[in-house]
Structure 1
Amino acid sequence: MTKRLTVLATGGTIAGIAGSAIAKDYRAGEIGIDDYLEKVGGLGLEADLSGKQIANIDSADIGMDVWRPLHEAICAAMADDGCSGVIVTHGTDTLEETAFLLDLTLPADKPVVVVGAMRPADAVGYDGLRNFANAVRVASDPNAAGRGVLVVMGDRVFAARDVRKVRTRGTEAFRGFPRESIGLVTPASLEWFGAPWRQGGRASFDWCEKLPEVVIVYAYAGLDAAGVERQVGEKTRGIVVAGVGEGNMPESARQALVALAKRGLPVVRASRADEGLVDREPEDTENSFVAARALNPQKARILLQLLLAGGITDPAAIQRSFDGR
């Protein structure tokens, strides 16, 4: 039976136009969803696609103004008995953040697949059509349910928790950590590497209309207390450190962050390394710090925002949530 899928478009390179097949520069978010679905209509995809334009922007500009209506539209599609799954087209720069936020705030009973492209639609070697066809294959598969939000790029299927953009060019720009891809997909085939893990799973967090401010402090050689304090404002409710190595930071910066943690601002140690696993250290309890484990700084920020929005501010309780990811 042909699956009915809802396509929600937010713009990005997958809907971008360069004006030349070999141009370097291009404009993201130029093709509307109706035109895009007409473009993919000639691929012979075995799905009934209907679309809605949520936004048509560069994903660098994605935030709550887009996340709010996107989440609402996904929930409406998932509540429709006739809808088998949802595809979100998205720019690649912040794709992992959108996917992770949706993963934490959506149930897992129907597939939700986020897909993008590294080349604009009129470029030589445009990867968007293949990625989209692959996303249709994944969203149409009943075995995609129960896996949380998925990301399809470069013939690979990633879990939202693991996926991260690791290259600025080329079609193999995404990788997973600590798990690599959880499936391989082509427009004609799909191979899963394991069973679903969230079958019937409810959302981990309620949707929040406004997320509290959490800043990311990037550690570097020579970062001092003043450099930390300049980034923390009156509205700041939490801090994520993109630390060197395993979430480390210069001593002067550490002392400033300890003082902020003692004042009640949760401080999460993540790593600026691409594959950075940050375990708890003996000093974390004394410093009131939280270890991000396998989450990179940008994902750690989203999780901390949701925790704070739910009234969770105790470092031990925050740590338990990070440990459970």
Structure 2
Amino acid sequence: MTTKLTVLATGGTIAGIAGSAIAKDYRAGEIGIDDYLEKVGGLGLEAELSGRQIANIDSADMGPEVWNALHPAIMEALAVNSCAGVIVTHGTDTLEETAFLLDLTLPADKPVVVVGAMRPADAVGYDGLRNFANAVRVASDPSASGRGVLVVMGDRVFAARDVRKVRTRGTEAFRGFPRESIALVTPSSLEWFGAPWRQGSDASFEWSDSLPEVAILYAYAGLRAASVERQVGQATRGIVVAGVGEGNMSEEIREALRAQAKRGLPVVRASRADEGLVDREPEDTENGFVAARALNPQKARILLQLLLANGITDPAAIQRKFDRR
């Protein structure tokens, strides 16, 4: 029996056109989903694919407007009994943020796979077709259920919680932290490295179509407290610090953020380091700070937004949620 999958397209390099096989510049989000599915139709994939265009943009433009269309479209597809899973095509620049947001707000009873490409469709060595074929292989596998949202890039499968873009060029542009890839995949094979980890199939958080504003403050040598004041506006409901080292910051910045925390704004300490694990410090309780653990600043922002949207504002309660990611 042929597996039925729904493909939701948002644009990105995987749907990009350069106009030349060797050009450096290209236009993301040029190929529509119908044309793309016609393009992959000749690959001999053992799946019945139906598509829907959610957006056709460069993922640098990804945000709540597209998320608010994408999330219900995924839920609608998953509710169809004959649909075995969903594939989301996406640009790579913000892919990890969309994947993590979906992972926190979708059930895990059917596979949801996010896939992109590092080269446009008319470039020499276009990786999009292989990545897409690999995504079909993953989404068609019953063992992909119970693993949350997955990302397929470069013959590897990553959990949304772990995946991050680490290179601007080349097809091996994604890695995982603290876990590396959780499976290896080709269009004809799939090898999982462990059992599914999601307990139950329910989403971790209810979807919110109005996420609170959370600022990311990037720490650097010589950062002054006045920068905090400039970045924290009237609408700001939380702050994530992309701290140096293990979420560290100067005493001047620490004092400025301590004052913000006393005003009721949650402050999360993350790290600007690529593999930054941030544990709690003895002073965090007194300061009202939260440790991001293994989440990088952009993912810590997504989690904090969802927590605030769901009415969780107490630093201790926020910390418990970060500890579980």
Q: Shorter-normalised TM-score: what interval?
A: over 0.9
Q: Is the 8 A contact 1:99 1:160 kept in 2?
A: yes
Q: How does 1:4-153 map to 2 (within 5 A)?
A: 4-153=4-153
1:278 counterpart residue number: 278
1:118 partner amino acid: M
TM-aligned CA deviation for residue 229 of structure 1: 1.1
1:260 counterpart residue number: 260
Instruction: Quote the Cα distance in structure 1 between the aligned partners of 2:195 and 2:219.
Output: 38
SS at match of 1:99: helix
Q: Would you say 1:242 and 2:242 are equivalent positions? A: yes
SS at match of 1:84: strand
Aligned residue pairs total: 325
SS at match of 1:121: coil
Q: Would you say 1:229 and 2:229 are equivalent positions? A: yes
Which is further off, 249-258 or 85-94? 249-258
- Relative to the length of structure 2, the TM-score reads 0.99
SS at match of 2:249: coil
TM-aligned CA deviation for residue 251 of structure 1: 1.4
Instruction: Quote the Cα distance in structure 1 between the aligned partners of 2:310 and 2:85.
Output: 28
TM-aligned CA deviation for residue 2 of structure 1: 1.0
Q: Is the 8 A contact 1:227 1:253 kept in 2?
A: no
1:39 partner amino acid: K
Distance 1:115 1:106, change over 3 A: same
Q: Is the 8 A contact 1:109 1:199 kept in 2?
A: no
- Relative to the length of structure 1, the TM-score reads 0.99
SS at match of 1:230: helix
TM-aligned CA deviation for residue 199 of structure 1: 5.3
1:156 counterpart residue number: 156
Instruction: Quote the Cα distance in structure 1 between the aligned partners of 2:200 and 2:310.
Output: 23
1:258 partner amino acid: R
1:17 partner amino acid: I
Deviations 1:65-86 (A, max 9, x none): 1001100010001100010000
Instruction: Quote the Cα distance in structure 2 between the aligned partners of 1:150 and 1:94.
Output: 15
Q: Which runs of 5+ in 1 are unaligned?
A: none
2:313 counterpart residue number: 313
Instruction: Quote the Cα distance in structure 2 between the aligned partners of 1:30 and 1:310.
Output: 36
SS at match of 1:312: coil
Distance 1:253 1:199, change over 3 A: closer
Instruction: Quote the Cα distance in structure 2 between the aligned partners of 1:69 and 1:15.
Output: 19
2:203 counterpart residue number: 203
Instruction: Quote the Cα distance in structure 1 between the aligned partners of 2:70 and 2:201.
Output: 20
Deviations 1:221-240 (A, max 9, x none): 00111011110000000000
Instruction: Quote the Cα distance in structure 2 between the aligned partners of 1:8 and 1:200.
Output: 25
Q: Which runs of 5+ in 2 are unaligned?
A: none
Which is further off, 195-204 or 178-187? 195-204
Deviations 1:91-144 (A, max 9, x none): 000000000000000000000000000000000000000000000000000000
Instruction: Quote the Cα distance in structure 2 between the aligned partners of 1:180 and 1:233.
Output: 37
Displaced runs of 4 or more, over 3 A: none
SS at match of 2:83: coil
Instruction: Quote the Cα distance in structure 2 between the aligned partners of 1:271 and 1:279.
Output: 10
TM-aligned CA deviation for residue 245 of structure 1: 0.2
Give the RMSD, CA atoms, in angstroms.
Answer: 0.5
TM-aligned CA deviation for residue 201 of structure 1: 2.0
TM-aligned CA deviation for residue 241 of structure 1: 0.2
Q: Is the 8 A contact 1:145 1:199 kept in 2?
A: no
2:10 partner amino acid: T
SS at match of 2:283: helix
SS at match of 2:307: helix
2:298 counterpart residue number: 298
Q: Is the 8 A contact 1:21 1:123 kept in 2?
A: yes
